[in-house]
Amino acid sequence: MRRSILVVAMVAALGGSAAAQQAGAQPATPRAEPPHAWVFGSWTGGIFPPGETSGPRCTGQPSVIFTRDVVLRASIFDVAYRQRLIETVAASPNALEFRFVPAAGGGNALASRMPADVGFGCPGGPNSLIVERRGENEIAFPNCAEFPSPLTRCVGN
């Protein structure tokens, strides 16, 4: 009796596994890459001239990190990164224009609690950032007071 129960359980498990594999074997519809996919990853420099671009010194303490939905920036006066949620991204051949979800303003009670360096010191204000591509692994934030130097991509070990 035990043996037949074990066999039935194994057959059910294998059958379920095969069905799952067949369902998973169908090609998923590819998701279009966002316009800022080329900038994803960790970047060093910006606040200071770029230093090492590989190894733990770069990847362990990057100046800026770009992801699909968030841009994180280092702060000189705090350990925590400033996180900005991306609202929109407009792309041109050698630049990106980010618009962030507003950090403060309009009578927002949190406005007085926002750190002064929540933005990038750019002319468009704290809720915008223009990223200029200067090479395959180099970008700059033109006219942004808090990031006067170019940034270089941190590469793997």
Is residue 151 within 8 A of residue 42, CB to CB? The reply is no
Residues 69-98: pLDDT tens digits? 999 999 877 888 899 999 999 999 999 999
Number of Cβ atoms within 10 Å of the Cβ of 74:
19
Q: What is the pLDDT of residue 88?
A: 96
Residues 95-128: pLDDT tens digits? 999 999 987 654 455 555 666 668 899 999 999 9
Q: Which amino acid is at 15?
A: G
pTM given for the model: 0.72
